[in-house]
């Protein structure tokens, strides 16, 4: 089986899940922590080399403050969970804004935890326009794919092979526009807190049947 | 019914369709002309304001020359078909390369044909990295979504609401990375030459049920 080198995770549907459970919207995020750790372990098992989670975006921070506080807390906790695993961890996002949690500043350069290993990227206060604003005159003049990606704010994140989105929506919502240009895009109807390992295996099986052309 | 302002079309599957018909791969493209015109008319009917076709990309030009010649010819013919309709036409792509057909140079600035009306954009020898190389120091410093899009090579193409891809593949293949960050993405299993109006209506019905958040 052909295993993707790099998987992107869009863990959507926390709020809709919470409302369905009779909870307040803000209470959904904490139920996304266990699935995040579970999928990390599944990726380790099958030999994925890089895993990127869509934490929260600059767009998301326009929501009600009880929600922004709740998803920020969940992101901080998920980073802390990762520091207890074997991985090479990077938190990436716009640190110039006060929506970026100070607790995560120490993780904005890649650090090995445990035995190191799989790269894990968590996007926190990320914005696609912020990311593209990393381009500079030199990279623009050069105008190669590698040159463009290597000067993004997200230059430490490689091209993504497979994006899996939970929660039934079929859109990228600003997720790493340059690294996702050739990504295969798999949608799970279930909300993220209802994550099951089978979703992951279904996505891998589907990916295995795709013809990879990189736009060619 | 909520009609998308701007629809992007990825007309994929011409070669696979040709092979299924017992034809040579290169012979598939010409069967994509009639569907292109048909979807234009359907968009006109329902009041779509802008329609963008993925013609061919800089990536595609690495294919065998009999294929590149065939899809280039099909693009030229489809532009000519559009000049007979009421529309505001733009051909966009990298004109610095000799893969850009000279016949289409006159259309690289937007021109009204007939009574004008719906904007129609046809991407010809387009590359996502080429597009991003339009960014400049000012737009980067400003770092707003509008500022970024307004300095792309594709600045005359607006944000896309709905992307419809034929041919069963679930990827963007480099299609307008900035304008598609929030696009809803609908996949038709059939190959493009097997286009049916019902595919379009199914996509519109599906889009009508999506919750538009623009990343919020």
DSSP line for A83-139: TTSSEEEEEES-TTSTTS-GGGGGGSS-EEETT--SEEEEEEEE-HHHHHTT--HHH
Token pair recorded at residue B167:
């041919």
Tens digit of each residue's pLDDT (9 = 90 or more) over A64-87? 999 999 999 999 999 999 999 999
ipTM of the complex: 0.96
Token pair listed for B208: 């009508």
User: What is residue B193's predicted lDDT score, i.e. its pLDDT?
Assistant: 98
B147 to chain A: which residues are within 8 Å by CB? 129
Query: What is the pLDDT confidence band of residue B138, given thresholds at 50, 70 and 90?
Result: confident
Work out the pLDDT band at B146, boundaries 50, 70, 90.
confident
What is the rounded CA–CA span in Å between residue B64 and residue A86? 45
A171 inside 8 A of chain B by CB: yes
Q: What token pair was written down for B101?
A: 């057909």
CB spacing of A140 vs B143 below 8 angstroms: no
Cβ neighbours of A170 in B, within 8 Å: 184-186
**B170 touches A at CB < 8 Å:** yes
Residue B195 pLDDT greater than 90, yes or no = yes
- How far apart CA A55 and CA A94 sit, in angstroms, is 12
Q: What is the mean pLDDT of residues B152-166?
A: 97
Is residue A139 scored above 90 in pLDDT? no
Q: For chains A and B, count residue pairs whose Cβ atoms are closer than 8 Å.
A: 109
The pLDDT assigned to A196 comes to 98
Q: By the CB < 8 Å criterion, does B161 face chain A?
A: no
Q: Does B64 touch chain A (CB under 8 A)?
A: no
SS3 percent helix, strand, coil of chain B, rounded to 5, is 40, 20, 40
| Residue of chain B minimizing CA distance to A168 | B210
Separation of alpha carbons B40 and B50, rounded Å: 10
Q: Is B148 in the A-facing interface, judged by CB distances under 8 Å? A: yes
With an 8 Å Cβ cutoff, is A210 touching chain B?
A: yes
pLDDT in the model for residue A142? 79
The residues in A 2-21 lying below 8 A from B, measured between CB atoms, are none
Model confidence over B67-118: pLDDT tens digits? 999 999 999 999 999 999 999 999 999 999 999 999 999 999 999 999 999 9
Interchain CB contact of B214 with A (< 8 Å): yes
Average pLDDT in chain A: 96
For residue A137, pLDDT over 90 is answered with no
Q: How confident is the model at residue A146 (pLDDT cuts 50, 70, 90)?
A: confident
- Locus of tokens 């076709």: B53
> Taking 90 as the threshold, does the pLDDT of residue B63 lie above it?
yes
User: Rounded distance, CA B180 to CA B175, Å?
Assistant: 8
Give the gyration radius of chain A's Cα atoms: 17
**Across the interface, do B169 and A211 touch by the CB < 8 Å criterion?**
yes
Query: Is the CB of B182 less than 8 angstroms away from the CB of A173?
Result: yes
Query: Which residue in A57, A137, A148 is closest to B132 by CB distance?
Result: A148
% of chain A exceeding 90 in pLDDT: 89
Tokens read off for A131: 């990311």
**Residue B176, Cβ density class (10 Å: 0-12 exposed, 13-18 middle, ≥19 buried):** buried
Judge: A185–B173 Cβ closer than 8 Å, yes or no.
no
Q: Quick check: A143 pLDDT over 80?
A: no
Residues of A in contact with B128 (CB under 8 A): 145, 178, 181
Subunit contact B57:A215, Cβ cutoff 8 A: yes
Query: pLDDT tens digit string along A20-60?
Result: 999 999 999 999 999 999 999 999 999 999 999 999 999 99
B172-199 average pLDDT score: 98
Query: At which residue do the structure tokens 């929260």 appear?
Result: A56
What value does the mean pLDDT take over residues B154-181? 98
Question: Any chain A CB within 8 A of the CB of B184?
Answer: yes
Question: Which helix or strand (DSSP H or E) is residue B16 part of?
Answer: helix B14-20
| Confidence check: pLDDT of A117 > 80 | yes
Domains of chain B by start residue, with CATH: 6-125+159-208 (3.40.1180.10)
Tokens of residue A115, six digits: 């035995």
């Amino acid at each position: 089986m052909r295993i993707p080198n790099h998987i992107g995770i869009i863990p959507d549907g926390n709020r809709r899940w919470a409302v369905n459970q009779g909870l307040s919207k803000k209470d959904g995020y904490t139920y996304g922590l266990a699935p995040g750790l579970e999928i990390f372990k599944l990726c380790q098992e099958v030999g994925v080399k890089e895993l990127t989670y869509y934490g929260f975006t600059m767009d998301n921070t326009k929501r009600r403050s009880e929600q922004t506080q709740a998803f920020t807390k969940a992101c901080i906790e998920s980073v802390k969970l990762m520091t207890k695993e074997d991985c090479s961890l990077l938190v990436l996002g716009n640190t110039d804004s006060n929506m970026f949690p100070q607790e995560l500043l120490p993780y904005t350069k890649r650090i090995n935890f445990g035995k190191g290993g799989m790269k894990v990227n968590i996007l926190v206060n990320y914005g696609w326009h912020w990311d593209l604003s990393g381009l500079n005159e030199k990279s623009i003049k050069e105008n190669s794919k590698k040159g463009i990606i290597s000067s993004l704010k997200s230059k430490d994140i490689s091209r993504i092979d497979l994006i899996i989105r939970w929660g039934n929506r079929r859109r990228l919502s600003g997720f790493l526009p340059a690294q996702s240009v050739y990504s295969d895009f798999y949608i799970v109807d279930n909300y993220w807190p209802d994550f099951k390992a089978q979703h992951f295996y279904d996505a891998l099986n589907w990916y295995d049947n795709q013809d990879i052309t990189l736009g060619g």
